[in-house]
Amino acid sequence: MQPLSILLNVLWILFGGALMAAGWLIAAVIMAITIIGLPWARAAFNIAVYSLLPFGSRAVRRDELTGQSDLGTGALGLIGNLIWFILAGWWLAIGHVVLAIGYAVTIIGIPFAWAHLKLAGIALWPIGKAIVPA
């Protein structure tokens, strides 16, 4: 990881990133407790990792990463993402976009606004994604 990414990640953690990651982790645990919520628990855990260290990493489709299709990247993943989008994805994305607008008001906050926009994208459609170094 490059020094600028490390600095931005440390500032991100100090200014709310740790709380955001903890929230996503709690959501993942709650979803995992119910058997039916396991696909969304994995997605919420991926978002928790991504929201803890968003700088220097990006979300990619798992089938593009591995070259093989799996449950999350096929038809079941599409159905799971549609359910996620209807129940949680759109309002989580709106929250990230609102925070991004708030951060973008200042020049110093622009990198954090960009990170929130990245998180809004994965919050819309998280199943079948993996977090990789940029």
Pair 5, 56: CB distance under 8 Å: yes
Angle, vertex CA 56, rays to CA 92 and CA 8, nearest 5: 80
pLDDT for 67 equals 84
pLDDT for 37 equals 86
pLDDT for 92 equals 86
To the question of pTM greater than 0.85 for the whole model, the response is no
Q: What is the pLDDT along the chain (134 residues), one digit of tens a residue?
A: 789 999 999 999 998 888 888 988 998 898 899 888 888 888 889 889 899 999 999 999 888 888 888 878 888 889 989 988 988 888 888 988 998 999 999 988 999 999 999 999 998 999 888 889 98
